[in-house]
């Protein structure tokens, strides 16, 4: 049997699959956030380990043979040689990088505008979170240099606790801003600019023997968005995967490594032996997290209510920019709701959120097509928020492309499962390059003229919304 631990931003899930690829057991435990201050969003690193350890025990009891781990990305912490965490997990939606950027001398502020350094020195970069840790706890610098403590992302932390090995998989490591995504060498220039130790875990492939845990082989390690892309079979040039979860992530596969412009980032989708698939990503940092906020503030009753088939009411322009935007590039943007009247209802606001999210996804896809000239046939959607029919129809209408959604809700784990089957010799990477059958297809219903007019209105609303920032 195969086992996958999927460490998501809001919950950690365990899936156990039989040889027939069907789920034999699944469960999830919500981790939740610890909000220390407005821009500080952390998670309990000890609690994550306790959940992981319990899942490992369950897999051992169920006699799982092959085990894989997926983690959410760009979140960092520090731990000691015994694996004990010295910090909480600073999550990818944390914005303490603002403090670092504001402290930059003039020359660094100028350097951060250069295309090659723009993403690395942005407020949401793991490199900047690394700088913040060293800045606030200077003693860590010497301890890291002496290898008495370790800095890393979640894949490194959990793998270290499981095996004692300090490694990072290629999909996670190349999104830190500290490893070159093509050569895999440390970006020493970034370390020197920020005054931080070089980042030096051993970089591993996504399918590689990492260690043995009891009778289980630990053979797969991959970032969650890339695992979902593998699950959708989006491994050929021009294929697009969209995951709508805590954030909304749009990933397009390219025909080789290319450095994008603006707020897009280069990614390694997957590496198995000599075969490497590259791509580009854009994302809306706040989507599912905004829905959580709306439920918490009683704007909507529950998660299902936003997907009501109720007829459209008043047109509300809700821009879910709670944690900034990358396309267009404005990391200090904050949320905006325009068009409210005394007749506006909570459902009008909910529909405004759905349409606003679809509009921002459309903007990301438009930028990708403009830069790389690849036009997808279908957009493959997954993630919890993709269960909302209204959202997927809005994405189809706003982009003008067909949208497909697989029937299951375990896309990230399915991607890891496919890689585990490669590790066990059952499949090869070429066997998983096509999308699965049995998807639910959404057809664009909005006439082209109306689509252009709607997007024009949204862009006008966006101009207004971006005038207010943190």
Structural domain includes residue 7: yes
Check whether residue 248 and residue 219 sit in a common domain. no
Check whether residue 326 and residue 348 sit in a common domain. yes
Number of domains in the chain: 2
Check whether residue 315 and residue 296 sit in a common domain. yes
Structural domain includes residue 76: yes
Q: What's the pLDDT at 303?
A: 77
Name the domain boundary from 223, 241, 269.
223
Bond before 146 cis per omega within 30 degrees: no
Name the domain boundary from 204, 223, 242.
223
Q: What's the pLDDT at 351?
A: 92
Cβ atoms within 10 A of the Cβ of 180, count? 15
Q: What's the pLDDT at 35?
A: 77
- CB-based burial, 148-175: b 16+ in 10 Å, e otherwise: ebbbbbbbbbbbbbbeeebbbbbbbbbb
Q: State how far the Cα of 388 lies from the Cα of 371, in Å rounded to an integer.
A: 30
Structural domain includes residue 26: yes
Q: What is the CATH number of the domain that holds 182?
A: 3.30.420.40
Q: State how far the Cα of 389 lies from the Cα of 395, in Å rounded to an integer.
A: 10
The mean pLDDT values, 10 residues at a time, for the chain of 470 residues are 95 94 94 82 96 97 96 97 97 91 86 77 91 95 96 98 97 94 89 93 96 94 97 94 95 95 93 96 93 90 75 87 90 91 91 96 97 94 92 96 87 96 90 79 95 97 85
Domain that holds residue 333: 233-405+439-470
From start to end of 64-215, where are the E strands? 66-71, 76-80, 89-90, 149-153, 167-169, 202-204, 207-213
Structure-block tokens of residue 122: 């942005």
Rounded to a whole number of angstroms, the CA Rg of the chain reads 21
Q: State how far the Cα of 26 lies from the Cα of 24, in Å rounded to an integer.
A: 7
Helices 389-399 and 346-372: crossing angle in degrees, nearest 10, is 40
Check whether residue 295 and residue 207 sit in a common domain. no
DSSP letters of 241-279?
Answer: EEEESSSEEEEEE-SS-----TT-EEEEEEEETTEEEEE
Name the domain boundary from 158, 193, 223.
223
pTM, whole model, 2 decimals?
0.94
Structure-block tokens of residue 181: 């995504």
Q: What angle do CA 168, 275, 92 make, to 5 degrees?
A: 35
Q: What's the pLDDT at 53?
A: 97
Check whether residue 241 and residue 208 sit in a common domain. no
Structural domain includes residue 210: yes
From start to end of 162-247, where are the E strands? 167-169, 202-204, 207-213, 216-223, 240-244
Q: What's the pLDDT at 182?
A: 87
Element (H, E) at 154: helix 154-163
Check whether residue 82 and residue 206 sit in a common domain. yes
Backbone angles phi and psi of 326, in degrees to 5: -105, -30
Check whether residue 254 and residue 319 sit in a common domain. yes
């Amino acid at each position: 049997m195969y086992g996958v631990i999927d460490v998501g931003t809001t919950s950690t899930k365990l899936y156990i699959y039989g040889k027939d690829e069907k789920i034999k057991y699944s469960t999830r435990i919500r981790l939740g956030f610890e909000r220390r201050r407005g821009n500080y969003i952390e998670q309990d690193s000890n609690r994550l380990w306790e959940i992981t350890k319990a899942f490992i025990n369950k897999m051992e009891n169920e006699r799982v043979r092959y085990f894989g781990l997926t983690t959410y990305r760009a979140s960092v912490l520090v731990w000691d040689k015994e694996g004990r965490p010295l910090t909480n997990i600073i999550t990818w939606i944390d914005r303490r990088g603002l403090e670092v950027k504001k402290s930059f001398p003039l020359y660094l502020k100028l350097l951060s505008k250069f295309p090659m350094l723009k993403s690395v020195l942005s407020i949401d970069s793991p490199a900047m979170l690394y700088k913040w840790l060293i800045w606030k706890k200077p003693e860590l610098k010497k301890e890291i240099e002496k290898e008495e403590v370790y800095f890393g992302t979640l894949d490194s932390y959990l793998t270290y606790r499981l095996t004692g090995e300090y490694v990072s998989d290629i999909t996670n490591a190349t999104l830190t801003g500290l490893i070159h995504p093509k050569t895999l060498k440390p970006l020493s220039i970034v370390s020197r600019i920020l005054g931080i130790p070089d980042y030096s875990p051993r970089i591993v492939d996504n399918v590689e023997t990492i260690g043995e845990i009891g009778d289980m082989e630990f053979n797969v390690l991959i970032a969650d968005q890339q695992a979902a892309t593998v699950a959708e079979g989006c491994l050929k040039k021009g294929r697009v995967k969209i995951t709508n979860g805590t954030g909304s992530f749009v990933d397009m596969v390219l025909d080789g490594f290319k450095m994008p412009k603006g707020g897009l980032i280069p990614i390694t989708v997957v590496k198995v032996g000599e075969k490497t698939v590259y791509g580009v990503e854009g994302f809306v940092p706040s989507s599912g997290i905004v829905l959580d906020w709306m439920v918490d503030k009683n704007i909507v009753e529950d998660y299902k209510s936003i997907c009501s088939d109720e007829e459209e009411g008043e047109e509300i322009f809700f821009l879910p920019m709670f944690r900034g935007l990358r396309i267009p590039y404005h990391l200090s943007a904050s949320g905006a709701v325009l068009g409210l009247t005394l007749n506006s209802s909570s459902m009008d606001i909910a529909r405004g959120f759905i349409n606003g999210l679809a509009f921002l996804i459309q903007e990301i896809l438009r930028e990708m097509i403009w830069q790389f000239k690849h036009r997808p046939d279908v957009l493959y959607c997954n993630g919890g928020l993709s269960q909302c029919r209204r959202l997927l129809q809005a994405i189809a209408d706003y982009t003008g492309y067909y949208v497909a959604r697989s029937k299951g809700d375990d896309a990230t784990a399915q991607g890891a499962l496919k890689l585990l089957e490669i590790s066990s010799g059952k499949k090869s990477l070429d066997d998983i390059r096509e999308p699965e059958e049995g998807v639910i297809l959404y057809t664009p219903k909005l006439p082209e003229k109306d689509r252009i007019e709607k997007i024009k209105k949204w862009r006008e609303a966006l101009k207004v919304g971006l005038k207010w920032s943190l």
